[in-house]
Amino acid sequence: MKTSNLMMATAMATISAFAATNASAETMTLCWAAWDPANALVELSKDFEGKTGVDMEFEFVPWPNFADRMLNELNSGGKLCDLMIGDSQWIGGAAENGQYLKLNDFFDANGITMDDFLPATVTGYAEWPKGTPNYWALPAYADVVGWTYRKDWFSRPELQKEFKDKYGYDLGIPADLSQLKDIAEFFQGRDIDGKTVYGAAIYTERGSEGITMGVTNALYNYGFEYGNPENPYAELDGYVNSEGAIAGLEFYKALYDVGTPPGSSDWYMSEDIDAYKSGQVALQMNFAFIWPGVNADPNVGGDRTGYFANPPGPAGHYAQLGGQGISVVANTEHKDAALAYIKWFAQPEIQARWTEMGGASAMRAVVEDPAFPDAQPYNKAFLESMAIVKDFWAEPSYASLLLAMQDRVHKYVVAGQGTAKEALDGLVKDWTEVFEDEGKI
């Protein structure tokens, strides 16, 4: 992609000015999760170090411990992190508790506009309150739940014929969620090349956020809402537990019951990846960040795998948003250096390199480049997915809201306790109590 000379000159002048005033070496720390994109960011950041003289250090925490570790760091007023790439759900609490710097004035002074980023990522990663132009982060890593499938298995003539005879339509990318369940059921327990395989690896993890990040991909598309938009905290009944939402939760349990591998009662990202790469399943639910690794895998990569956005349901077409924004931690002792990093990272040239190296830019100039859809076999599915995203609560009390949903949904879907209606009625009760305690109602 091309960047205007004026834009690049302005950006370089800003960074050079910082370097000129930073005669002695300065060190600051960026905190994020431990995964492949973080390793790519280390390499990318060498450009920033070379241009500013700032030494970058990195604190990366494995995903299962990431939220607990970093939220504790923020809540305790710790000094470890100068820059934080934090989950989208943290934005409300970090803003209201004064843990992130508000970036509006800095953006205005440096010509950084949120119009340059995908609108869904601005809402999800940067805004608080939602729907207002108050920014606490720069979109850093665009991510969304989508699907991979064994394209090589789907293309086998004998399986295509058997599937068509049974279901009456062609075996391929599912047109809706009901077809996705059909496909998972079709492959469940099937013999492929002398090995027993199963239908789908889906999110069922109980301890952190896994089953919530999975089940919402069904709930949204059956009619679940987080509340009445006109009265979002006080009026949950009839939205969280609507007839459509109940049907969506029943669908996810049915998918779990008829189409998932034995022993998959507590699976999240890594377990799904392992099941797919080892040839256990025909379908895999997972965040799009895994797609480059799948494509490069010697066992399932290349033409053996295809990618598609979460299918629609009877009441809509949505996918669960993932991804993060990058924020300046409010109590940093390296504020100027941290802001210089934000300015550097916001350059279109750097954003393009970020994606090339294994990141996932949310900048429109990168993802709307005419060459982008065909640059990788998964890019079209990524664009389709990012166009339909919806996110979980980003309230300051999001952790309490999340734990309640994890508990209610896991007990119904995996443990088989009670009914879908009872689970969602209970969730309305739980969430209402949280908002009452917060003084929202």
User: Which tens digits make up the pLDDT trace of 129-186?
Assistant: 999 999 999 999 999 999 999 999 999 999 999 999 999 999 999 999 999 999 999 9
Confidence check: pLDDT of 24 > 60: no
226: left (phi over 0), alpha (psi -120 to 50) or beta: alpha
Rounded CA separation 397/390 (Å): 18
Radius of gyration of the chain (CA): 22
Please tell me what DSSP assigns to residue 280: -
Grade residue 14 by pLDDT with cuts at 50, 70 and 90: very low
Residue 11: the pLDDT is 44
Report phi then psi at 317, rounded to 5: -140, 100
Task: Determine, yes or no, domain membership for 11.
Answer: no
**Phi-psi bin for 188: left (phi > 0), alpha (psi -120 to 50), beta?**
beta
In a domain, 1, yes or no: no
Which residues constitute the domain of residue 56? 27-143+322-390
pLDDT surpasses 60 at 89 = yes
Distant-in-sequence, close-in-space partners of 425: CB < 8 Å, separation ≥ 6:
241
Residue 5 lies in a domain: no
Residues 116, 57 share a domain: yes
Same domain, 181 and 281: yes
Kindly state whether residues 257 and 326 are assigned to the same domain: no
Give the integer Cα–Cα distance in Å for 176 and 188.
19
Q: What is the DSSP letter of 310?
A: P
For the segment 282-288, the average pLDDT, to the nearest whole number, is 98
CA–CA separation, 46 vs 319, rounded Å? 34
Residue range 132-148, pLDDT digits in tens: 999 999 999 999 999 99
Whether 229 contacts 393, CB under 8 Å:
no
Please tell me the total count of domains within the chain: 2
- Residues 303, 408 within the same domain: yes
Q: Is 334 helix (H, G, I), strand (E, B) or coil?
A: coil
Tokens read off for 81:
């992190």
CB 254 within 8 A of CB 228: no
The verdict on 156 and 93 lying in the same domain is: no
Q: Is residue 228 included in any domain, yes or no?
A: yes
Report CA 303 to chain centroid distance, whole Å: 25
Three-state secondary-structure class, residue 232: coil
Whether residue 137 sits in one domain with residue 150: no
With bands split at pLDDT 50, 70 and 90, how would you rate the model's confidence at 268? very high
Distance CA 371, CA 243 (A): 43
CATH number for the domain that contains residue 259: 3.40.190.10
Do residue 196 and residue 99 come from a single domain? no
Whether residue 258 is found in the same domain as residue 210? yes
Report helix, strand or coil for 286.
strand
Question: At residue 277, what is the residue type?
Answer: K
Q: Report pLDDT for 2.
A: 35
